[in-house]
A and B are shown apart, each in its own frame.
Chain A
Amino acid sequence: MENYLLILISTVFVNNIVLVRILGLCPFMGVSKRLEASIGMAAATAFVLTLGSGASFLVDKYLLGPDLIYLRTLSFIVVIAAIVQFTEMVLHKVFPLLYQVLGIYLPLITTNCAVLGIPLLIVQEQHDLVEALLIGLGGALGFSMVLIIFAGMRERLEGADIPPPFRGTAIAMITAGLMSIAFMGFAGLVK
């Protein structure tokens, strides 16, 4: 139990997927201009990342095994894409409201590097299924948190008096860098 809690804390704060592992930067910079959009993206990522981690763990363990390690990347992409398609169809039918909230972001996140990177890290570190799901969830929570915080900051930055050369993407990059430095303070929290 304690182990699981540590995994969550570790993936959300210490090894934050965006700011420490530097994965999934395209949605981080691309979808963080508006708070609502970033919340939709965060929810979709949480969904896909958790499911994708579990499914690719199973594929790695029971289909690929130790002999076919070189097929990991390829098969993970296929499995994650298929799962996203499947959940999209089910959502559309069963929970139209949730489908509307996630909207375009669900298929958009499918082949994101964070979504592929987390399962690859999981199988490298040899966890079990529950841990794999937790790492996926923790990664997604960390991503969501950072994305939403960053979107909030960027919305405020629009009203700020920024020197002309730093306006737009430049100040966003600097902000992201500062956030990354801040998150380095969590290093050592979990061994």
Chain B
Amino acid sequence: MLTALLAMAGLALFLGLVLGFAAIKFKVEESPLVQKIDAILPQTQCGQCGFPGCKPYATAIAAGEADINQCPPGGEEGIRKLAELLGVEPKPLNAEHGVTKPKSVAVIDEDICIGCTLCIQACPVDAILGAAKHMHTVIESECTGCELCVAPCPVDCISMAPLTEDISTWKWKYPVYSIKRT
């Protein structure tokens, strides 16, 4: 009885020590920084920062190739969080990349739409539904409000409608950027 207990306890202790030692000795250095930065960015994939999406921007920030103040949708709160994460001073949003706007969604005036599909091709998150020569519409829950579809429209039928905060659109502030202008 006692031998059995001692044997198993000894075995477990030995293996535990070996594993604990190996966990320290063979620790693999990964770069979780990109993921952490990417988690702070608002995932609008709007490209206003000058990079093709949020992940490339995060990679550029992690590599020190981009500044932290190039993300208008993230707003001041996003910059503050990035500064906190990277241990640098927060700075005001770089105006050449755009200004922070309240969260809004694109709305297509369906009477004017000619079904040219140009906005579908511009949408980075596939939130616009429609076919050639048929009226298009925006899937409101998918739209990130990046405004990339506004410029290509030849008949200017797309407008941005601010989202009012109601029971269905409200969500916890952290870790998403603030919905209202701060």
Residues of chain A whose beta carbon lies under 8 Å from any beta carbon of chain B: 59, 63-64, 67-68, 70-71, 74-75, 78-79, 82, 85-86, 89-90, 92-94, 96
Contact = CB atoms under 8 A, between A and B. Distances in A.
23 contacts: A59-B11, A63-B7, A63-B10, A64-B7, A67-B3, A68-B3, A71-B8, A75-B7, A75-B8, A78-B12, A79-B11, A79-B15, A82-B15, A82-B18, A85-B19, A85-B22, A86-B18, A86-B22, A89-B22, A89-B23, A92-B28, A93-B27, A96-B28
B63 interface: no
Interface in B1-53: 3-4, 7-8, 10-12, 15, 18-19, 22-23, 26-28
Give the one of A67, A68, A71, A89 with max B CB within 10 A.
A89
Contacts of A59: 11
The B interface, classified by DSSP as helix, strand, loop or mixed, is helix
A111 B28 CA distance: 25
Contact of A93 (B11, B12, B26): B26
A88 B3 CA distance: 31
Given A64-B7, A71-B8, A93-B28, 18 more contacts: A63-B7, A63-B10, A70-B4, A74-B8, A75-B7, A75-B8, A78-B8, A79-B15, A82-B15, A82-B18, A82-B19, A85-B22, A86-B19, A86-B22, A89-B19, A90-B22, A93-B27, A96-B28
Contacts of A70: 4
A89 B23 CA distance: 7
The A interface, classified by DSSP as helix, strand, loop or mixed, is helix
B11 A75 contact: yes
Nearest to A83: B15
Interface residues of B, number: 15
Contacts of A67: 3
Given A82-B15, A82-B18, A71 B23 contact: no
A92 B18 contact: no
A75 B14 CA distance: 12
Give the one of B3, B7, B12, B23 with max A CB within 10 A.
B7
Nearest to A87: B22
Contacts of B7: 63-64, 68, 71, 75
A76 to B, nearest CB: 10
Nearest to A67: B3
Nearest to B30: A92
Contact of A92 (B10, B11, B15, B26): B26
